[in-house]
Structure formats: C-alpha cells, structure tokens
C-alpha cells in the first residue's frame, strides 16, 4: 500500500486520528534510564508497543536521535515498528529542504536507509526541492505550510502580490499541494493546532490532502477545535484526513517505571477525545 492507503487503513483499524511523536529526551527518561542515551531505542520501543493499536501513525523526530549519535538506534526502532505494527505508517520528521542531488540523497536517507513511509519537508526552495521525494513510489511528502511557532508568521502570513487574489504564502502553498505539485497523489501539509481558523482555511484550499497537525497536548492546541477545523467526511467516507500529533504528553505521562502504561492511557484518552470531536 502507498502512504495514503496506509493512513486510511490505520484510521479504520485503530479507530484513530492520533499520531504519537517519538521525541526521546534522555534527561526525561524514567528511573535508572534517566540521562542515558543508550536507552533511546528501548524507551521508544516500549512506547510503540504500548500504543501501536491506538494510533494512525508514528512520527520519530530525527534530531532527537542524531543529537546523541543514535541513528543506529533509530534504524533499529524503524525495524521494530515494522515488525510489531506493520499496519501503522511511519512519518520521519526531518523537515529537509534542498535541491538536486542533495535532495535525492535526503530522500534515500528517509525512504531507503530508514524505510519511512513519509517524510516532512520544508518547501521554501520550491517544487524542485520536493520532486526527488516523489520519485519514490507510494512514499509521502508532508510540506510545512502554517506552522504553530510564533515566528511562522514572519513568512507564512505574508501576501503574494504577484499571484491572483494576493493569497498569503501558506494559502498559496496549500493550493499547490492540492494541485500542480501533487503529481504522485502523496502530498500532505503540516498545519499547527494553535491556529484552528487557519487549519480550516488550509482545508478549504486543499480539501483532500492529509493534514499533519502538531501542537495538541503539551503545546496547548485544542483537540476538538483541531478536528472540527481540519477533518472532513461525507456519506461516502473520509474526504480529508487529519493526523493529530502528540509527543510529550504521551511520552512523559509518567516518570516512573509505569511510563509505558501511562503513555497508553494518555494516548487512549487523546484518541477518544479526537474521535468524540468528529462524532465517532
């Protein structure tokens, strides 16, 4: 199955819109593991085992592994997720953005080395920085569109005087992702949960692309407002999926030996809250 098909299957099987972000911080690990980067794989694998039947996707953030020279642990984790949760797509959160042969190498890193089903990208350098990823059949490319950080407004909210209607940058990007850029049908967009009105605007412009929405949980995004702004369904089924990410609220639900069980309870509560918001 391609990335979009995997998302839809995971949503049905696990009845979930929740994505668990895997952002391991050794300083926050439980008990004797605290401060020990060699435990990154074990910590993340325990979270995966505890939540794999509750999620629509997993999203490892590569920086949290690379900072501790833990790329080998990330490779091992990717293999573990394939073994225990083959039905759950894995989004490598890398936010790469480059052109030509460099982009080709980043695409190999994401899809060949790590075996990810999708990768997050910065589209600032234009379509030729995205196209190399689309050469990998069935793989997803999720473009930063309207991010939740305050500085996102510095560029994303600027109007384009040379485009009909003078859309904002993020609006123009949403239109491109729905249209001309989506040549393999596998594009998605990142839209922060802290801006539900702008999630709704992105959904209006890109009615069928999946939206990866970080910011629910520790970052303060409202789960109900997020789903109502971005999720779309009709009598024929889901027309616009949302992938609502929660990282710290799940990973660090407990600092004790019960961390995995606590993570499961946090994930279950968030999944149920998201389902209630869409009337499921």
Domain boundaries, the chain: 3-277
Average pLDDT, the chain: 95
The answer to whether 168 touches 179, Cβ cutoff 8 Å, is no
Q: Are 253 and 19 in contact (CB under 8 A)?
A: no
Say what the pLDDT of residue 237 is. Answer: 86
CA dist., res. 235 & res. 180, Å (int): 28
At 223 the pLDDT is 83
Categorize the per-residue pLDDT at 224 as very low, low, confident or very high, splitting at 50, 70 and 90. confident
Averaged pLDDT, 68-73: 98
Please identify, in words, the CATH class of the domain defined by 3-277: alpha beta
Class of residue 112 by CB neighbours under 10 A (exposed 0-12, middle 13-18, buried 19+): exposed
Strands 232-234 and 237-240, bridge-based pairing: antiparallel
Q: pLDDT band at residue 218, thresholds of 50, 70 and 90?
A: low
Is pLDDT above 60 for 167?
A: yes
Q: Which residues have a catalytic role annotated?
A: 95
């Amino acid at each position: 199955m391609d990335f979009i098909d995997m998302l839809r299957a995971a949503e049905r099987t696990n009845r979930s819109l929740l994505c668990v972000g895997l952002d391991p911080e050794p300083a926050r690990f439980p008990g004797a593991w605290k401060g020990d980067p060699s435990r990154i794989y074990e910590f993340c694998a325990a979270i995966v085992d505890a939540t794999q039947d509750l999620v629509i996707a997993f999203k490892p953030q590569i920086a949290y592994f690379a900072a501790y020279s833990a790329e080998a642990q990330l490779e091992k984790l990717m293999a573990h997720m394939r073994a225990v949760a083959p039905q759950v797509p894995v989004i490598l959160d890398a936010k790469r953005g480059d052109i030509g042969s460099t982009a080709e190498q980043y695409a190999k890193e994401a899809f060949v080395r790590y075996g990810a089903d999708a990768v997050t990208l910065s589209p600032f350098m234009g379509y030729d920085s995205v196209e190399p990823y689309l050469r990998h059949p069935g793989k997803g490319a999720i473009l930063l569109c309207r991010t939740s950080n305050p500085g996102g407004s510095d560029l994303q909210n600027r109007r384009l005087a040379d485009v009909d209607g003078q859309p904002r940058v993020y609006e123009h990007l949403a239109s491109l992702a729905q249209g001309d850029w989506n040549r393999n049908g596998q594009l998605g967009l990142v839209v922060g949960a802290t801006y539900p009105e702008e999630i709704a605007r992105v959904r209006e412009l890109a009615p069928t692309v999946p939206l990866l929405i970080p910011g629910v949980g520790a970052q303060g995004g409202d789960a109900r407002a997020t789903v109502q702004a971005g999720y779309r369904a009709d009598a024929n089924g889901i027309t616009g999926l949302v992938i609502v990410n929660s990282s710290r609220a799940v990973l660090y639900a407990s600092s004790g030996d019960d961390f995995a069980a606590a993570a499961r309870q946090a994930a279950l509560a968030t999944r149920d809250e998201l389902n209630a918001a869409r009337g499921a």
